[in-house]
Structure 1
Amino acid sequence: MMRRLLALSTALLALSGSAAAQSALFGMETTNDTAPLWEASLLAAGGYIAHYPAASEGQFKALPIPFLIYRGDHLRIGDDGFIRARQEMAGGRLELDIGLDGSFDVDSKDNKARSGMPDLDLLIEAGPKLTWHFLPGDASRQIDLGVELRAVIATRFIGFDYEGITLNPELSWFERSLGGTKMRGYASIGPIFGFDGVNDYFYQVDPVYATPDRPAYRAQNGYIGTKTTLGLAYPVTERLLVFGAAQVGYYGGSANEDSPLFREKTNVSVGAGLRWSFWQSEARVPVIR
């Protein structure tokens, strides 16, 4: 049960973009300078997501997520997903931390292209992320260039299975005050590459699952597609924040565009929700961006 909740929570947070988007949009700081050292919150979010990259079908998902936040100098828990160990270099311009992402499971009987094939499991992606901050120390605006290398793990009923690795360079922008209001904005764009089995997981068709309309196909390593994320958030009060996000994935030119499981060059996913911070410590720390 805990394994499934972790994977579902990770995937649901991914509706609103990368870890950087989560930190930027979901932060409950009451000023540009400080935030609670400890914080307990409830995040309720949901949305529509494509079944897998370049799928022609998708699904609606929703989930409430209680979580605890700790904002330490080098260890941060819950501030942008789950656990984040960070180390700054080059005067704060270069940062090394742990990136986290995920995707929901898919029952193959709910996807026409995969009918009769094994289901897609809940996936967790985790690994090192190197970020260059173009505006270090600026809490009101961020322009970052990051590169994430993540191991992809499938969460099955009896354990975890390694499915490969992804490489994701990404350029992102965050604005704390759009047009002089309390509205926050986030945008990012970046290509995704899959290696060591990830592309097999999504696009390969073994001969045993081949049909007249779905020929056998051996997947290739390489480019998967490019994702663009846009997000907005508005702090209604010091403890209540509402947000929404949309993500467009373009998969034209993919290494596996010839796969019979590759159905659409463009996928659109949308998500929305709210965050309620029901307890905050009196101790406060400087906002770290």
Structure 2
Amino acid sequence: MANIHPTALVDSQAQLGENVTIGAYSIVGPHVRIDEGTTVGAHCVIEGHTTIGRDNRFFSNVAVGGEPQDKKYAGEPTRLEIGHRNTIRECCTFNTGTVQDEGVTRVGDDNWIMAYVHVAHDCRVGSHVILANSVQLAGHVHVGDWVIVGGMSGVHQFVKIGAHAMTGMCTALGQDLPPFVMAQGNMAAAHGVNLEGLRRRGFSAERLSAVKQMHKALYRQGLTLEQAKGQIDGLKASHPEAEADVDLMLSFLLASTRGIVR
């Protein structure tokens, strides 16, 4: 049975799993599904075609599933999908997608999303991500797994942030940020490798060495991007344990459409 506060308004068509809690004065719309163990705080609005997984925690005044802030939106039944075990703090806003993209905004699992974060239409946020207070993601932004975005940072539409990357506070990110790289500033500039984060995630010495070599090729040898790609590809032979990390970097660089932070 769900635990619904008497002041909450939950549409009869909404699907609530076992042990879902809906707090005081919250509103849940008819096209919403919330899986077991999720807690929704007071004064939240969950609307649109929204699917929410297990064991999430929504704090007060969160508004998710609202229409995209896109003038082209014409009422299409686009979606928002949120995974499992996310913590979503006060006053966050997540919008549904648009038909100009895949029609869905996705948030993965085990994310820590602090207060006043905005996730715009068609964003894809991976898993184990930290978005600090007041981070603003514009439309179509892709955020890889294990990314950390510093407080009050803004990310331009269509920008991609690679896995394990990190930005400092108040960063304005207008180009793609490759995996493993740390950046800060307005506009953002690269400032090294997220080595401490990688160590905490169990990266071996050989993998860390490969990451350092990839950063060196991109930022410290004066190479063109094509030259850097070739040098990075050669690391597979000298660092076989890091082959997946090299492939991650190369696939990111290949998919980049806005150019990378350099």
TM-score band, normalised by shorter chain: under 0.3
From the two aligned structures, give the one with the greater strand fraction.
Answer: 1
Give the number of the structure with larger relative contact order, counting CA–CA contacts within 8 Å between residues 6 or more apart.
1
- TM-score normalised to structure 1 length: 0.24
